[in-house]
């Protein structure tokens, strides 16, 4: 499922419209699709013991509606993305266990997209809406980075099998709890 990413950021404030486009091969998170080593397209770093790198992230767009200089509403779009051209593996050392570790990095990104969508669904229209949206996005990016680092630390980059299994179980449980905010919907 290769897609070209054309991200249009539209912010409607004071009749000002800003557009930004970026074309890069991506995979969108989908609960029916699991990563394969064929999805990892970048060249591995020969100067590291790391076996694989998953590049994933959250994209966020919003538009704010105004009427007579008063904010009346907003819409948002949140996507969980895997970047094949920035992800890599060392085929001679890669295996199913490491692939499942990398998949969980992508799943952790999806978990944070769901948490973010949930937070956005509770956000009220206010004078500070733009600042609140930006703040929520920055907070979720920080939380995501912290969880990804904790995951690698606690599993020793997949080497601690029991910790890896615990993380997989916990992330699947959390994804299930937030199924109403799924990217695949």
What pLDDT does 6 receive?
20
The rounded radius of gyration (Å) of the Cα atoms in the chain is 18
Q: Is the pLDDT of residue 8 over 70?
A: no
- pLDDT tier, 42 (very low <50, low <70, confident <90, very high otherwise): very high
Q: Is the pLDDT of residue 57 over 60?
A: yes
pTM comes to 0.86
What pLDDT does 183 receive?
83
What pLDDT does 19 receive?
28
Q: Is the pLDDT of residue 72 over 50?
A: yes
What pLDDT does 21 receive?
39
Residue (of 29, 37, 31, 34) closest to 53 by Cα position:
37
Q: Where is pLDDT greater, at 147 or 18?
A: 147
Please, is 96 exposed, middle or buried when counting C-beta atoms within 10 Å of its C-beta (0-12, 13-18, 19+)? exposed
Report percent pLDDT > 70 for the chain: 88
> If you search the block for the tokens 């419209």, which residue do you land on?
17
Q: What's the mean per-residue pLDDT of the chain?
A: 88
């Amino acid at each position: 499922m290769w897609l070209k990413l054309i991200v249009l950021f539209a912010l409607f404030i004071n009749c000002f419209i800003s557009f930004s486009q970026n074309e890069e091969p991506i995979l969108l998170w989908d609960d029916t699709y699991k990563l394969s080593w064929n999805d990892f397209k970048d060249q591995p770093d020969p100067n590291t013991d790391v076996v694989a790198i998953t590049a994933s992230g959250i994209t966020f767009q919003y538009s704010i509606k105004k009427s007579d200089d008063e904010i009346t509403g907003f819409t948002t779009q949140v996507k969980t993305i895997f970047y094949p051209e920035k992800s890599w593996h060392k085929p001679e050392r890669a295996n199913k266990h490491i692939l499942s570790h990398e998949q969980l990095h992508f799943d952790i990104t999806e978990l944070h997209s769901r948490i973010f969508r949930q937070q956005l669904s509770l956000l009220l229209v206010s004078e500070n809406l733009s600042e609140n949206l930006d703040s929520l996005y920055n907070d979720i990016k920080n939380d995501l980075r912290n969880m990804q680092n904790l995951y690698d630390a606690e599993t020793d980059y997949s080497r601690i099998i029991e910790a890896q299994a615990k993380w997989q179980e916990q992330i699947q449980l959390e994804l299930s709890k937030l199924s109403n905010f799924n990217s695949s919907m």
